[in-house]
Structures are given as C-alpha cells and as structure tokens.
Amino acid sequence: MSPSPVSSTPILRRTLIWSAVATAVLAIVAGGIGFAVAQGEGLVSGLLGVLLSALFLAITGISILVANRWYGDPLYVQLFFAIVLGGWLLKLGVFVLVMILLAGQPWLHPMVFFLSIIAGVIMSLVIDVIVLTRMRLPNVSDTTLPTEVPEDRAPGAGYLPDAGPSDSGPRS
C-alpha cells in the first residue's frame, strides 16, 4: 500500500495503535478494581465501560482514515465530511441504544461502569495530546509546488512578473 498523501494519516494511525495498547492495560486495571469492589458485576462493568469508551473514541479516527482514502478526488471535501459526520451520527445512535439497553440491568454496577468510561475518555485524551505534541507536521502540508517554469517565464528571459496598475505608467 502506498503512503497516504494526507499528513494527518500517520498521526491518526499512531493514535489508534497507542489507544489499543492503552485500552488493553486499562481493561485489566478497571476489571481488577471492579472485581475488588463488586466481584463479578464490577468486573463486567469495568471491562464493558472501557470497551465502549474505546470503541466510541476510535470511530472518529477510523472514519477520518477511511475518508482520507478519497484525497485528490474532486468530491473529497464533501465525502470527507459526509463520512466523518456519518461516524459521529453512528456513535450517537449506538450510544443511545447501548445506554437504553444497559439501564437497570442487574448485572451492571453503575458506578464502576461510569468511572471506567470516564477513565477511558481521559486515557484517550492523554494519548491524543502526547501523539500530537510529538509528531512532526510541517506548517504547510498537503500542498504541491510547481516544479517546472516555462522557458518564456524563466528568470533572465525578459519576463517580468505581472505589474500592478500602479506600475503600468510612468512614475511622477
């Protein structure tokens, strides 16, 4: 696969990889704390909270990576925003559905579930900050510069850049 010409692609990939590793570590910690607090209910609640937070937070990065595949297409901007907005709407719909289904379940410890979701969100924000501050991204990216100057416009060929209206006549 050829490298993507979009400069945000390596940043998003690195963020998703770090988030996957950190999610595994956080799942072990949240599951352990949940088990210590509320045995089986706490274990399931901690694991489910971390899993849901990681899933919801990854949807945005994945949707941007998918949308970047259309870079260079005349409809790139429209496709990009349609895909990312679709990802956000998917997240919203799945979140509402999951919260309705999980509300009042006897096997769910609400406080462990809530705190594990909060821990997952904080973990994701920390990873985003670390990755973005350590990545090197040029000030001007995703541009192409002209590489060849026509001979009649080359320096020394008698060509002068377009003169503005004030330079067209004699100076007083």
What is the full per-residue pLDDT of the chain (172 aa) written as tens digits? 455 567 778 888 888 999 999 999 999 999 999 999 999 999 999 999 999 999 988 898 899 899 988 888 889 899 999 999 999 999 999 999 999 999 889 999 999 999 999 999 999 889 888 887 887 766 665 566 667 666 666 565 555 555 555 555 555 5
Q: Which helix (H) or strand (E) holds 1?
A: none
Q: Report the distance separating Cα 142 and Cα 76, nearest Å.
A: 13
The CA distance from 25 to 49, in Å, is 13
Type of residue numbered 65: L
pLDDT at 71: 87
For 161, the token pair is 């850049």
Q: Give me the pLDDT at residue 128, please.
A: 83
CA 110/CA 42 separation, integer angstroms = 9
93 Rama class: left (phi>0) / alpha (psi -120 to 50) / beta: alpha
Distance of alpha carbon 69 from alpha carbon 86, whole angstroms: 16
3-state SS, residue 58:
helix
Query: What's residue 61's pLDDT?
Result: 86
CA 90 → CA 32, 60, 105, distances in Å?
31, 10, 23
Q: What is the DSSP letter of 146?
A: -
Q: Give the CA dihedral 11, 14, 19, 22, nearest 10 degrees.
A: -130
Instruction: Compute the distance between CA of residue 169 and CA of residue 153 in angstroms, rounded to an integer.
Output: 22
Mention every residue, 6+ apart, whose C-beta is less than 8 A from residue 37: 109, 112
Residues 6+ away with beta carbon under 8 Å from 20: 54
pLDDT reported for residue 152: 62
Task: Please state whether the predicted TM-score (pTM) of the whole model is above 0.75.
Answer: no
- The alpha carbons of the chain give a radius of gyration, in whole angstroms, of 26
